[in-house]
Each structure stands twice: as C-alpha cells, then as structure tokens.
C-alpha cells in the first residue's frame, strides 16, 4: 500500500497514535478498536500508529499486538496506512514483532530507541539496521530521549537514512536544530510526535504528525495542515493556537497521554476502557476538565 503513496509522505500526512481499547475487565476490545479506527479515519486520519506507547505497548502481549493490527486492518481496509509499534529493549524481540506486524497487515513499523540500557550510538545504529534488514516493510524511527534515555543523534540519523527501508522519523526529540540538520541532509520523512509542534515542524518541511490528542479531535490536526498547504498560514496558526489548551491538559499536566486520552474518549462515549497497571485512571476532576476543553474547542 505504501508504494502507491507520495514518497515524501510514506505513511500519509495526519496520523493518530491510537489508544488500545480494553473491556471493563481489562481484556483487549477488538470491536472497540475497529470502531475507533474507523472513526479516526472517517474524521481525518490517513494513517494510524498502533501498539505505540499511547497504545500501552509496554503492557500488551505479543499476541494482543498482532490481533490489534489484524482487526484494525480489517476495519479500515485500504483507507489508511497502519504503522505498528514494534520497539523493545531487545533487538531480537523487536525483529520478531516487526515480522509479526507485517504478517498481520501493517504497512510499516515504528521502532523506538532501545530503552533503559542506554546503548552508545554505534549500538543504536546497529539495532535499527538489524530491524530494517529483517523487515519487509518501511521503518519509522522513533526518537524520544525523554522516555528512552538515549537520543538518536543527528549524525546517526543521517547515516541511517542511507538504508532503503528506513524512510521516516517520529520526532519527540525537542531539538529543532538537530531536526533541521537531518531535514536538510536527508530525505527522511519527519512526523512530529509532539502535538504542540505540529505546525512549527510542518512549516520547515515535515511530512505530517503522529498525534495523541488526535484520538479525540483528529479532524482538527488535518485542518491545520490543510490550511498551511492552502497558503492560509494565518488560519493554520489560529487553529494550532486554539488546540493548545487541550494539548496542554492532555500532554503536559502530569499524566501520560494514554491516561488523558482514554478519560476523554470515555466521556465522549467512544471505545477506550481502563488503562493497565502500573498506569491509573484519571480522576473525575481531570476528566471533567478535559471534556470542558474539548467542548470549547469543538464549539468554536
């Protein structure tokens, strides 16, 4: 599927880092996942990232990850690209997850820097190359040093861009200078994973975004990029600033985005369910505040 898409946007433009719905008993809710995925695509997402951190990948089993990809593929058909998170701290396990995701119907894989062990850059590069060599689908690198403890340094990224299957980056580095360096020297498609940077990174040449807040307002981020593409930068700026309070409440208020996204989706009557331990559900006051911000945004 990705081979028919714009190589500058190998996975589309507006992607959502989809939550993984669970039943009230805490088991995987495949019907809910199908329904949520179909809604996200209908409302503006041309790609979905499954089994990422927002999808609670640290607490889902390998089997659940594969079942989720297959179910969402069934639900959205060829209407959207599917990128499956397969990253782990173990290169062999990451390769196994990548092959399983491809078999289940993923168009690409998202591979995070190995975490906790903090490997040096030579080992980071070797890890990504081994996964890309083994995978039969394009690879999106995931640079989020605040979670993993290790950057994918710009020079490492530039070398990795030479690999034919490494085509994109989900950028949560908070390093605009480093990002610009890589953008200027490679053809890697950059997707911002920080909702507050959607417009800023797009303006300097990013391919699009992978949004967590998009679980609740997928059409809003598509509208920001539509306005920019149409040359209406004032409108794009207005839309980015308008969503800022919701971004702050969901992503910068001390709770993981998974927790706040599920709290808001539940208030909207959409598939979500509980989070798995060690995460804990948002309190009533937090959920009320999220709903109020959502209603303010969507009423404007």
- The full set of domain ranges for the chain reads 14-299
Is the model's pLDDT at 2 over the cut of 50? no
- The end-to-end CA distance of the chain, in Å, is 36
Q: Which pLDDT band holds residue 156 (cuts at 50, 70, 90)?
A: very high
Percent of the chain residues past pLDDT 70, beyond the cut = 98
| Fold of the domain spanning 14-299 | TIM Barrel (3.20.20)
Q: What is the mean pLDDT of residues 132-151?
A: 96
pLDDT at 3: 40
Residue 299: how many CA atoms within 13 Å on its side-chain side?
Answer: 6
Looking at the annotation, which residues are catalytic? 142, 170
Alpha-carbon distance 205 to 282, whole Å?
36
212 is in an annotated binding site: no
Percent of the chain residues past pLDDT 90, beyond the cut = 97
C-beta of residue 76 within 8 angstroms of C-beta of residue 68: no
Q: What is the pLDDT of residues 38-53, one digit of tens each?
A: 999 999 999 999 999 9
Q: What is the pLDDT of residues 22-32, one digit of tens each?
A: 999 999 999 99
4 is in an annotated binding site: no
The phi and psi torsions of 88 (rounded to 5 degrees) equal: -155, 180
Q: What is the mean pLDDT of residues 281-297?
A: 97
Closest CA to 16 of 195, 236, 245: 195
């Amino acid at each position: 599927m990705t081979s028919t898409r714009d190589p500058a946007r190998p996975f589309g433009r507006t992607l959502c880092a989809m939550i993984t719905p669970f039943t009230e008993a805490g088991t995987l809710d495949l019907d809910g996942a199908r329904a949520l995925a179909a809604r996200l695509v209908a409302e503006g997402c041309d790609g979905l990232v499954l089994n990422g951190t927002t999808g609670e990948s640290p607490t889902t089993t390998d089997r659940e990850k594969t079942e989720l990809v297959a179910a969402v593929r069934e639900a959205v058909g060829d209407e959207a690209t599917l990128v499956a998170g397969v990253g782990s701290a173990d290169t062999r396990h990451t390769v196994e997850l990548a092959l399983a995701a491809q078999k289940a119907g993923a168009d690409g894989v998202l591979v995070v820097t190995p975490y906790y062990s903090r490997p040096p850059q030579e080992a980071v590069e070797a890890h990504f190359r081994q996964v890309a060599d083994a995978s039969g689908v394009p690879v999106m690198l995931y640079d989020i040093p605040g979670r993993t403890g290790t950057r994918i340094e710009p020079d490492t990224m530039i070398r990795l861009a030479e690999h034919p299957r490494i085509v994109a980056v989900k950028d949560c580095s908070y390093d605009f200078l480093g990002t610009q360096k890589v953008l200027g020297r490679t053809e890697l498609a950059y997707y911002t994973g920080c909702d507050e940077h959607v417009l800023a990174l797009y303006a300097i040449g990013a391919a699009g975004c992978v949004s967590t807040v998009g679980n609740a307002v997928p059409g809003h981020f598509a509208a920001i990029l539509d306005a920019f593409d149409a040359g209406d930068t004032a409108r794009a700026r207005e839309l980015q600033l308008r969503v800022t309070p919701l971004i702050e409440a969901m992503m910068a208020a001390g709770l993981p985005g998974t927790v706040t996204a599920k709290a808001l989706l539940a208030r909207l009557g959409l598939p979500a369910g509980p989070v798995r331990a060690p995460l804990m559900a948002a309190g009533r006051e937090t959920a009320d505040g999220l709903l109020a911000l959502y209603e303010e945004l969507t009423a404007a």
